[in-house]
């Protein structure tokens, strides 16, 4: 079906909204599943089932070259770092309220901006350095024991944010030669195999309810990935990544509905500052025509976000 000029902005808005909501909902089921199952088992279902929509998109393009790559080393590094990033993310969801974990994880783009100076040889001006310093100060404010977060859980979330930043660095390097769907496909394949092998040592037979939780993580994550890929393909990356910050509002709402958690004042004060710092960096990079560093998978869950690759604009992402 051909999009009219009016339909396109509406479709893009709906795609971004749905991907943000579905990723937040997926994180809820990750937390529920992790209450009774080891993290590797949750990761396996997230990636194995989540691969189905990705493969569907590749087959829809009728381009089997998207399954091929000459940069296995690059995919291995990206997948290895991303795998342990996902492990820490899921672990932080188990240890912390969703809103607390999400707020800390949103510091990843700030860390990425700092790393890009050394690893990507990018120039970061005074404006972005100021945003980084203010944003990270807000994260440290939320990490204090009085913020309602366990020290261990907060440390795990911070480790996840750092690993996410390194994963996004590797994605940037891969995106110079690789299509976004190729990057997602190899990441999902690697994580499915690794988590599958790891979970065998501690497999727990799921109940009917927990099986629904496990299946939901993969289904919601996979469908959210399709909507996100469409949004990134059809609109400026800065617009999509900026909208993803609303995920923290959804996370706080789900915390209250399911567990009755209400964010403490440190999180209520600190998270808007982190979000503002991230949005400012997105705005500055869009203004300077840089590729935004604040591309953050709202799954926050899996740093398997789409990045513009060599054949990105020619692919069919219609939904």
What residues have CB less than 8 Å from 30, skipping those under 6 apart?
Answer: 42, 46, 90, 93, 217, 301
For residue 39, count other CB atoms closer than 10 A to its CB.
Answer: 22
What is the residue extent of each domain of the chain? 12-308
pLDDT at 204: 96
Q: What is the pLDDT of residue 305?
A: 47
HSE value, Cβ hemisphere, 13 Å, CA-based, for 84: 13
- Cβ pair 24, 254 in contact under 8 A: yes
Longest distance between any two alpha carbons in the chain, whole Å:
54
Along the 319 residues of the chain, how does pLDDT read in single tens digits? 454 444 467 787 888 889 889 999 999 999 999 999 999 999 999 999 999 988 888 888 777 788 888 889 999 999 999 999 999 999 999 999 998 898 889 888 888 888 887 777 777 788 888 888 888 888 878 776 655 557 888 899 999 999 998 988 888 888 888 888 888 889 999 999 999 999 999 999 999 999 999 999 999 998 888 888 777 777 766 666 677 778 888 898 999 999 998 877 788 888 888 888 887 877 777 676 555 444 444 444 444 444 445 555 445 544 4
SS (H, E, C) 127-186: HHHHHHHHHHHHHHHHHCHHHCCCHHHHHHHHHHHHHHHHHHHHHHHHCCCCCHHHHHHH
Question: In this predicted structure, what is the pLDDT of residue 300?
Answer: 47
């Amino acid at each position: 079906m051909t999009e009219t000029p009016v339909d396109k902005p509406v479709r893009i808005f709906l795609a971004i909204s749905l991907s943000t909501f579905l990723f937040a909902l997926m994180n809820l089921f990750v937390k529920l599943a992790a209450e009774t199952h080891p993290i590797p088992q949750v990761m396996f279902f997230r990636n194995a089932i989540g691969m189905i929509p990705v493969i569907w998109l590749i087959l829809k393009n009728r381009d089997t070259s998207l399954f091929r790559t000459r940069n296995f080393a690059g995919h291995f590094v990206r997948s290895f770092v991303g795998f342990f990033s996902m492990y820490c993310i899921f672990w932080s969801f188990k240890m912390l309220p969703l809103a607390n974990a999400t707020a800390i994880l949103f510091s990843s783009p700030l860390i990425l901006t700092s790393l890009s100076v050394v690893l990507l040889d990018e120039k970061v001006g005074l404006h972005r350095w100021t945003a980084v310093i203010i944003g990270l100060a807000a994260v440290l404010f939320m990490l204090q024991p009085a913020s309602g977060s366990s020290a261990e859980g907060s440390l795990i979330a911070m480790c996840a944010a750092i690993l996410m930043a390194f994963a996004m660095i590797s994605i940037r390097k891969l995106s110079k030669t690789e299509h976004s769907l190729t990057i997602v496909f190899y990441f999902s394949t690697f994580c499915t195999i690794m988590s599958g092998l790891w979970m065998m040592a501690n497999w727990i037979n799921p109940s009917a309810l927990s099986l629904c939780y496990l299946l939901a993580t993969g289904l919601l994550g996979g469908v959210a990935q399709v909507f996100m890929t469409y949004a990134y393909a059809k609109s400026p990356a800065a617009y999509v990544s900026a909208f993803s910050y609303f995920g923290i509002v959804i996370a706080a709402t789900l915390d209250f509905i399911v567990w009755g958690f209400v964010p403490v004042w440190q999180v209520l004060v600190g998270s808007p500052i982190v979000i503002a710092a991230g949005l400012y960096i997105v705005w500055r990079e869009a203004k300077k025509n840089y590729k935004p560093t604040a591309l953050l998978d709202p799954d926050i869950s899996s740093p398997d976000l789409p990045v513009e690759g060599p054949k990105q604009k020619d692919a069919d992402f219609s939904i």
